[in-house]
Homo-oligomer: A and B are copies of this chain.
Amino acid sequence: MIGTLSVVFLLGRASAQTSRDSTKSTAVGGFFTGGNASVSRIPVVPEINCGVAKVSFPPGVRTIWHSHAGGQIIVVVSGTAWYQEKGKPKQVIKQGESVVCPPNVMHWHGATPDGPMTHMVVTPNMDKGGATTGPAVTEKEYKSL
C-alpha cells in the first residue's frame, strides 16, 4: 500500500517571499481523509531547499499516513491539531506550538473533529527526496487516544 508520490504542496518552489504572495489555495486529492484541506504554497527561492505551505483543515479532516525524506516542521497557527507518529500515542498540538517530524517517520496530522485547524508546514532537505505515502488514517486510528 505504500508508494512514492511527489505531493505538490510539499514541493512547491518559486521566487517571491511572503505568505501573502502565496499561490491560490488548492485541494490535494487523495492526500486527505474525511474531506479535503485547502493548501496555499508559499513561494521560496530554490536555495532555501524547503517546501513551505499553509494548510487549512475543516473539522474531521486529516492527512493520510505519510513520511518525508527530509523531515517536516509543523507550526499550528489557528485551532488545535492532532499529530501521530506510527507506533506512538496521538499528540495534541495547540495554536502557537510546533512539532518536528524526523526524516522517514510515518505520521499523520489534521484537525480534531470539533473545529478547523490551520498549520504552516516547512519541509526541509528537499534534496533528500519527497514524500512517501501510506494508507488512509482510519476512523479508529483517528479517534484513538
Among the interface residues A44, A49, A71, A124, which one has the most CB atoms of the partner chain B within 10 A?
A124
Task: Please state if A91 and B18 are interface contacts (CB–CB under 8 Å).
Answer: yes
A41-58 vs B, CB cutoff 8 Å, 1 = contact: the mask equals 011110111101010000
Task: Please state if B17 and A99 are interface contacts (CB–CB under 8 Å).
Answer: yes
User: With A17-B102, A75-B75, A77-B77 known to touch, is A70 a contact of B49 (CB < 8 Å)?
Assistant: yes
Least CB distance from A56 to B in Å reads 10
Give bound CA distance, A19 to B95, whole Å: 11
A106-118 vs B, CB cutoff 8 Å, 1 = contact: the mask equals 0000000000001
Task: Please state if A73 and B50 are interface contacts (CB–CB under 8 Å).
Answer: yes
Does A38 lie at the interface of the complex (its beta carbon under 8 Å from any beta carbon of B)? Answer: no
CB contacts (< 8 Å) of A25 on chain B: these are none
CB contacts (< 8 Å) of A91 on chain B: these are 18
Does A8 lie at the interface of the complex (its beta carbon under 8 Å from any beta carbon of B)? Answer: no
**From A99, which residue of chain B is reached at the shortest CB distance?**
B18
Least CB distance from A5 to B in Å reads 21
Does A132 lie at the interface of the complex (its beta carbon under 8 Å from any beta carbon of B)? Answer: no
Does A20 lie at the interface of the complex (its beta carbon under 8 Å from any beta carbon of B)? Answer: yes
**From A93, which residue of chain B is reached at the shortest CB distance?**
B18
